[in-house]
Amino acid sequence: MSGARLCTLLGELGYEGTKSGSDSLDPDSFEWPFQYEDTRPILHWICSTLRPSNILSISELSQ
Query: Looking at residue 18, what is its pLDDT?
Result: 60
How many whole angstroms separate alpha carbon 25 and alpha carbon 14? 13
Running DSSP on this structure, what letter comes out for residue 9?
Answer: H
| Local structure of 49: helix, strand or coil | helix
Contact 3, 45 (CB under 8 A): no
How many whole angstroms separate alpha carbon 18 and alpha carbon 7? 7
Indicate the length of the chain as a whole number.
Answer: 63
Could you state, in order of their start, the residue ranges of all structural domains in the chain? 3-61
Query: Looking at residue 41, what is its pLDDT?
Result: 94
pTM above 0.75, yes or no: no
Q: Which helix (H) or strand (E) covers residue 11, if one does?
A: helix 3-12
Query: Looking at residue 21, what is its pLDDT?
Result: 56
Query: Looking at residue 1, what is its pLDDT?
Result: 74
pLDDT < 70 stretches in the chain: 18-23
Query: Looking at residue 40, what is its pLDDT?
Result: 92
Query: Looking at residue 63, what is its pLDDT?
Result: 85
